[in-house]
Amino acid sequence: MSLTIPARPFDFSLTPGRAALVVVDMQRDSIEPGGVAASLGHDVGLLRGAIAPITALLSCWRSYGWPVIHTRECHRPDLSDCPPAKRLRGDPSLRIGDLGPLGRLLVAGAPGTDIIPALAPSHEEWLIDKPGKGMFWATELHERLQSAGLTQLVFCGVTTEAAVQSSMREANDRGYECLIVEDATASYLSHFKRAALEMLADEDAVIGWRSSSAEVLAAMA
């Protein structure tokens, strides 16, 4: 039996047990002072508004025992999976791999790559380390999703226009039905978030759908 979620551009039909909640890059490097985002001059406090809606979604998903996937962007300690064009781009105060207040920036195993405590994964939830913005690049996620019989992905996390949008577009190309939860995602730039949401859920749902956490939770209740 499917659940009808009010969404844009039209209602989304969610199939219980076939839909995973995807929490994108809610890691300390993105959310807390001293991480890679702060080194780029971003106001990391602007992302904290997504935490409460994600917490509510997580609680609901967990209550039903439905699958949850957490992603985090990070690189090998030798940076062999970090292209120079990525590391050397721009003029941050610290670059990927440099030592900062949260350890080496975006390096696997450093404290900054940990998911923030409020959203810490439980032991049975998937934790996907990815070297790029999209969650399918250089990971085995697609194969794992297929093995688990998952066909729908409900997206939340940060940032809307970068890692979340990249992951949702990659998922769409692989045949997954995708829903992004508007208030459970955030950006350092509000106009980037608005534009990304409009592109991801256009009039024909070519990439996917968008809804609010209240609409999703009401339908699941």
* 103-123 tens-digit pLDDT: 999 999 999 999 999 999 999
Q: Is residue 201 part of a domain?
A: yes
Model confidence over 82-107: pLDDT tens digits? Answer: 999 999 999 999 999 999 999 999 99
Q: Is residue 5 part of a domain?
A: no
What is the structure's pLDDT at 168?
98
CATH number at residue 55: 3.40.50.850
pTM of the predicted protein model: 0.97
Model confidence over 160-174: pLDDT tens digits? Answer: 999 999 999 999 999
Q: How far apart are CA 154 and CA 178, in angstroms?
A: 6
Integer Rg of the chain from CA: 17
Model confidence over 174-200: pLDDT tens digits? Answer: 999 999 999 999 999 999 999 999 999
Q: Is residue 187 part of a domain?
A: yes
Q: Is residue 158 part of a domain?
A: yes
- Angle, CA 121 vertex, CA 210 and CA 111 arms, to 5°: 110
What is the structure's pLDDT at 134?
98
What is the structure's pLDDT at 132?
97
Q: Is residue 3 part of a domain?
A: no
The pLDDT mean for the chain works out to 97
- Angle, CA 177 vertex, CA 174 and CA 180 arms, to 5°: 115
Model confidence over 57-85: pLDDT tens digits? Answer: 999 999 999 999 999 999 999 999 999 99
Q: Would you say residue 23 has pLDDT above 90?
A: yes
Q: Would you say residue 8 has pLDDT above 90?
A: yes
What is the structure's pLDDT at 78?
98
How many independent structural domains does the chain possess?
1
Q: Is residue 115 part of a domain?
A: yes
Q: Is residue 8 part of a domain?
A: no
> Which of 35-44, 102-111, 124-133 has the lowest average pLDDT?
35-44
> Which structural domain, as residue segments, surrounds residue 157?
13-77+90-220
Q: Is residue 167 part of a domain?
A: yes
As a whole-number percent, the residues of the chain with pLDDT over 90 amount to: 96
Helix axes 190-200, 165-173, angle to 10 degrees: 10
Q: Would you say residue 1 has pLDDT above 90?
A: no
